């Protein structure tokens, strides 16, 4: 059983992930701010893996909530850039495919799942990453093509 941080703000997707990943210990964060709090707040047992939605709700300095297309990438970059969390395997789920966002996702993740993805593909990706336990070191992450996900 792995300890998995799930950063997702879509309630139906959260319900699906809870169902599909029920054999793992899930730590849920439904916004950018909540994810950062959970990352900064863990102490004894770190996460084994993070599944991060690319587009997340983020509150601006005035307190207004916006969907920010790269907020999930910012969470992944935070995990990767700090020694205490750099070992955590990162899967980014995205429906975006513009060149700049895709480059940042590749740099920040160990695997990419393009939405909509099937639960079987998510499980296979998690199992493969946990089995190898290998962080990407600057190369291309494992990824699917945006269309025709199995």
Main-chain dihedrals φ then ψ at residue 90, nearest 5 degrees: -125, 125
The model carries a pTM of: 0.85
Mean pLDDT of all residues belonging to the chain: 83
User: Residue 15 and residue 20: Cα distance in Å, rounded?
Assistant: 9
CB count, 10 Å around CB of 41? 7
- Helix, strand and coil in the chain, % to nearest 5: 35, 25, 40
CATH code 3.40.605.10 for 3-139: no
Q: Is the pLDDT of residue 90 over 80?
A: yes
SS (H, E, C) 99-142: HHHHHHHHHHCCEEEECCCCHHHHHHHHHHHHHHCCCCCCCCCE
130, two tokens: 């946990």
Position 148 scores a pLDDT of 34
- pLDDT (tens digit per residue) in 13-61: 999 999 999 999 999 999 999 999 888 876 556 789 999 999 887 887 8
Provide the percentage of residues in the chain whose pLDDT is more than 90.
46
Convert 112-131 to b/e letters by CB count within 10 Å (16 or more is b): bbbeebeeeebeebbeebee
User: Residue 49 and residue 5: Cα distance in Å, rounded?
Assistant: 6
């Amino acid at each position: 059983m792995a300890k998995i941080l799930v950063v997702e703000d879509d309630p139906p997707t959260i319900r699906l992930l809870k169902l599909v990943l029920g054999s793992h210990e899930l730590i849920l964060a439904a916004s950018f701010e909540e994810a950062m709090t959970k990352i900064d707040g863990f102490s004894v047992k770190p996460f084994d893996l993070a599944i991060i939605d690319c587009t997340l709700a983020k509150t601006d300095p005035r307190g207004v909530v916006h969907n920010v297309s790269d907020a999930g990438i910012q969470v992944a970059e935070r995990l990767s850039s700090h020694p205490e969390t750099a070992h955590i395997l990162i899967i980014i789920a995205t429906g975006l495919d513009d060149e700049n966002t895709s480059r940042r996702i590749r740099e920040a993740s160990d695997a990419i799942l393009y939405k909509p993805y099937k639960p079987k593909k998510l499980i296979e990706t998690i199992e493969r990453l946990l089995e190898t336990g290998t962080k990407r070191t600057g190369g291309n992450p494992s990824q699917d093509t945006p269309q025709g996900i199995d």
